[in-house]
């Protein structure tokens, strides 16, 4: 879908490389400019987030390499950087540098706190951003510490995906007007924005300021339960017809405790009963009981277990690749197989890219 779009990524961590990977998955030509030296040890020898990209090692302290970096950006449709505010300007690579040489450039910036504000220059991580944004508050059952899957809500949801949306919007605008733009994608902004669906319930009785008392934050029919083997089962039969089926399969359809689905006063006792019930048998028993029904119950699988699930396997959602298990590109389009692109060796395209620039007298 993005064939012909050229993007330059300045190597960073977390959401910015993920956003660039997603754009490469969608067909853009992404060149990642990497620092000299070894890769980030947390990512291993092959960084899955570099799949589908050209990998170029440049020393931005070297005048020749800096000239090459500027030449690459001058021909790009978009740029992605995930450094703290002001770092690119100090390197001589801020948006103003390219205002004349590439006025259509969409300059994508990925930070935790944003380009301005009291915390803009402070360090932070996923939990800090979503906690400050209000997106972590409802993420637990009453009495437990709020907890979400690492990186998914903040780094990826509130960060990388909003950067992708911003870059795509900027590219469409540049095609229409001939003018580029700067995209300020902050994880705190996106994480708060993602709360819109949840906060839309605030007009009625479905959203409480107290955790565990809202329609979607861990009522007894919307949470996970431990099973006898230490595995977990997810339950979210929100609608009455699904809740009725859930009770029927458990043999609780006539139990007076469960008749009133939305009676918050009964939720603690209902949760306790269901906890004891699910803890009596292993997760495989419950998975078989609810399989192929609309009761909205499913076991909690690890990525490796998920890869073997019949539905996940049928769609090819997880792939065992050169960097280990990795997810297929998403979303999908007609006629395109969702297979991951190859991951380059660090700096493997450096000479080819530099030779191309020299051949065209750009450096």
The residues annotated as belonging to the active site are: 125, 155
CA–CA gap between residue 325 and residue 308 (Å, rounded): 12
Instruction: Give which of 307, 141, 116 is closest to 225, Cα–Cα.
Output: 141
Dihedral-angle region of residue 37 (phi above 0 means left; psi in -120 to 50 means alpha; beta otherwise): left
State the Cα–Cα distance between residues 325 and 320, nearest whole angstrom: 4
CB 270 within 8 A of CB 258: yes
Distance in Å from the first CA to the final CA of the chain:
31
Cβ atoms of 168 and 186 within 8 Å: the answer is no
Query: b vs e for 315-350, b when ≥16 Cβ sit within 10 Å of the residue's Cβ?
Result: eebbbebebeebbbbeeeeeeeebebbebbebbebb
Residue 221 φ then ψ, to 5°: -100, 20
Beta strands in 11-53 (DSSP E): 29-34
- CA 32 from centre of chain: 19
Q: How far is CA 107 from CA 148, 168, 181, 234, 283, in A?
A: 30, 11, 6, 41, 48
CA distances in angstroms from 124 to 111, 130, 152, listed in the order given = 9, 10, 15
Q: How far apart are CA 357 and CA 70, in angstroms?
A: 11
For the chain, give percent helix, strand, coil, nearest 5: 40, 15, 45
How far is Cα of residue 136 from the mean position of the Cα atoms in its chain? 15
């Amino acid at each position: 879908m993005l064939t012909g779009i050229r993007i330059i990524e300045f190597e960073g961590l977390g959401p910015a490389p993920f956003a660039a990977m997603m754009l490469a998955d969608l067909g853009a030509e992404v060149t990642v400019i990497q620092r000299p030296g070894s890769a980030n040890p947390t990512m291993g020898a092959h960084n899955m987030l570099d799949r589908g990209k050209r990998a170029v090692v440049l020393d931005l302290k070297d005048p020749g390499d800096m000239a090459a970096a500027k030449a690459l950006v001058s021909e790009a449709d978009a740029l992605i950087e995930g450094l703290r505010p002001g770092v690119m300007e100090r390197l001589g690579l801020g948006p103003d540098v390219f205002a004349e040489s590439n006025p259509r450039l969409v300059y994508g910036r990925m930070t935790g706190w944003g380009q301005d504000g009291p915390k803009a220059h402070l360090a932070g991580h996923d939990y800090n951003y979503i906690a400050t944004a209000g997106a972590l508050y409802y993420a637990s059952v009453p009495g437990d510490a709020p907890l979400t899957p690492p990186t998914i809500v903040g780094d990826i949801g509130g960060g990388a995906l909003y950067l992708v949306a911003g870059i795509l919007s900027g590219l469409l605008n540049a095609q229409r007007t001939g003018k580029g733009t700067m995209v300020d994608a902050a994880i705190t902004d996106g994480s708060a924005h993602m709360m819109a669906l949840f906060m839309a319930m605030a007009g009625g009785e479905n959203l409480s300021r107290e955790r565990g008392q809202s329609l979607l934050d861990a009522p007894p029919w919307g949470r996970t339960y431990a099973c006898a083997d230490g595995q977990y089962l997810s339950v979210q039969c929100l609608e009455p017809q699904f809740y009725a089926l859930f009770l029927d399969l458990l043999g609780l359809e006539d139990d007076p405790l469960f008749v009133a689905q939305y009676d918050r006063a009964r939720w603690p006792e209902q949760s306790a009963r269901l906890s004891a019930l699910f803890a009596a048998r292993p997760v495989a028993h419950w998975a078989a009981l609810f399989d192929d029904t609309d009761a909205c119950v499913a076991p909690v699988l690890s990525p490796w277990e998920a890869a073997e699930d019949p539905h996940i396997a049928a769609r090819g959602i997880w792939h065992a690749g050169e960097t280990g298990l990795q997810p297929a590109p998403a979303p999908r389009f007609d006629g395109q197989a969702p297979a991951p692109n190859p991951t380059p060796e660090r700096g493997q395209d450096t000479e080819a890219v530099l030779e191309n620039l020299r051949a065209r007298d750009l450096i």
